[in-house]
Amino acid sequence: MNTIGHNFRLTTFGESHGTAIGGVIDGCPPKWKLDFDFIESELFRRKTGQSPTSSRRKETDQVEWLSGLLDGVTLGTPIAFMVRNNDANPEDYEALKDIYRPSHADFTYEQKYGIRDWRGGGRASARTTLPIVVAGAIAKQILIGQGIQIFSEVISMGDVEQARKMGDTVGGIVECRIYCAPSGLGEPMFGKFSAELAHAMFSLPAVKGFEIGDGFALASSKGSEANDSFYNKGGKITTLTNHSGGIQGGITNGNVVVFRVAFKPIPSIAQPQRTVNRVGEPCEIAIEGRHDVCALPRALVLVEALAAIVTLDMES
């Protein structure tokens, strides 16, 4: 279950401080000349260190392309890629080896597998989202070639500089829009476009809420307010309003797809916290080290990447 997608499929691998992280894209259309500069620019958006909200880990993020390409052109065969974990300092984390950090995945991974990679969060680290950006940048450029554009922005976020001072972290909400997605995308019953988007977004660390169109606000509206009337816009049928967020009956209607994703604050805080160790003894931790105050600026590219992967996948 480290694979997303049905036709355009991404399988990711890697732990935060293992040898490498990466992915395999299966089902990428052949004969596409990859724009590596675009992939680099997308990776830069995810990179740490470029904004006051983010951590200080220096990730060089040099992508090595392992297969599926001939002179930079896709072959239709699996595209494998990886990024080495050059800046891996596992000893920084030795102190956390036997402690369950609050609201991290330490405890649950150990419950599931009976073992966990304690070095920097292991497989649960936000670093493991990097391959999503690479695959998303490929999906996005293919979609752009079709005239489909995806943009996101932070529409709500806590007070970062205040939180940093207090050794605390903040969450926020990202809104994303898919422009010019064709109508008819999505399967009617268990593969609704909205369901696939929700599933994809909940694959990101710290995501706790997802809504489409007017979302939760619709719960307190009336049908007469919430309905989107159809009209004939110069020969093309579309809707006057877009409360539905471009999706009706789970299928895109040709209007802009709009959705929002709620991120909880990053659980790694510098303030001391009470917790227990692996044998259940109470202890206190204060998580030092290279951690973001807020994940949202870096999450934008991830939200877009997954939206692109889902859109290309549902098209195929």
Residues in 115-144 at the binding interface with a copy of itself, rule: CB under 8 A: 115-117, 119, 122-124, 128
Q: Which stretch binds a copy of itself (CB under 8 A): 24-32, 37-45, 54-62, 138-146?
A: 24-32
Is 89 one of the binding residues for a copy of itself (CB under 8 A)?
no
Please state the closest distance from residue 310 (CB atom) to a copy of itself, in A: 11
Q: What are the structure tokens assigned to 1, written together?
A: 């279950």
Measure the CA–CA gap between 134 and 28, rounded to whole angstroms. 13
Q: Which residues contact 185 (CB under 8 A, 6 or more apart)?
A: 193, 251, 252, 311, 314, 315
Is 180 one of the binding residues for a copy of itself (CB under 8 A)?
no
224 in Cβ contact with 163 (< 8 Å): no
DSSP state, residue 48: T
Among 94, 153, 161, 281, binds a copy of itself (CB under 8 A): 281
Q: 203 burial class (0-12, 13-18, 19+ CB within 10 angstroms)?
A: middle
Is 262 one of the binding residues for a copy of itself (CB under 8 A)?
yes
19 in Cβ contact with 81 (< 8 Å): no
Among 51, 89, 103, 149, binds a copy of itself (CB under 8 A): 103
Nearest to 112 by CA among 97, 123, 101: 123
Residues in 145-164 at the binding interface with a copy of itself, rule: CB under 8 A: 156, 158, 163
Residue whose entry in the numeric block shows the structure tokens 């001072």: 165
Buried b vs exposed e over 261-272: b needs ≥16 C-beta within 10 Å? bbbbbbbbbbee
Is 91 one of the binding residues for a copy of itself (CB under 8 A)?
no
Number of residues that bind a copy of itself (CB under 8 A): 140
Q: Which stretch binds a copy of itself (CB under 8 A): 6-14, 38-46, 141-149, 297-305?
A: 6-14
Is 299 one of the binding residues for a copy of itself (CB under 8 A)?
no
Among 139, 252, 299, 305, binds a copy of itself (CB under 8 A): 252
Nearest to 129 by CA among 16, 27, 34, 44: 16
* 278 CB neighbour count, 10 Å cutoff: 14
Q: Which stretch binds a copy of itself (CB under 8 A): 37-45, 54-62, 133-141, 215-223?
A: 215-223
Please state the closest distance from residue 250 (CB atom) to a copy of itself, in A: 7
Residue number with CB closer to a copy of itself (36 or 202) = 202
Is 224 one of the binding residues for a copy of itself (CB under 8 A)?
yes
Q: Which stretch binds a copy of itself (CB under 8 A): 41-49, 52-60, 137-145, 246-254?
A: 246-254
Residues in 184-213 at the binding interface with a copy of itself, rule: CB under 8 A: 184-192, 194-196, 198-203, 205, 207-213
Is 264 one of the binding residues for a copy of itself (CB under 8 A)?
yes
Sign of the four-CA dihedral 85, 88, 93, 94: positive
Is 50 one of the binding residues for a copy of itself (CB under 8 A)?
no
Residue number with CB closer to a copy of itself (150 or 261) = 261
Measure the CA–CA gap between 291 and 262, rounded to whole angstroms. 20
Is 34 one of the binding residues for a copy of itself (CB under 8 A)?
no
CA angle 22–174–222, rounded 5-degree value: 135
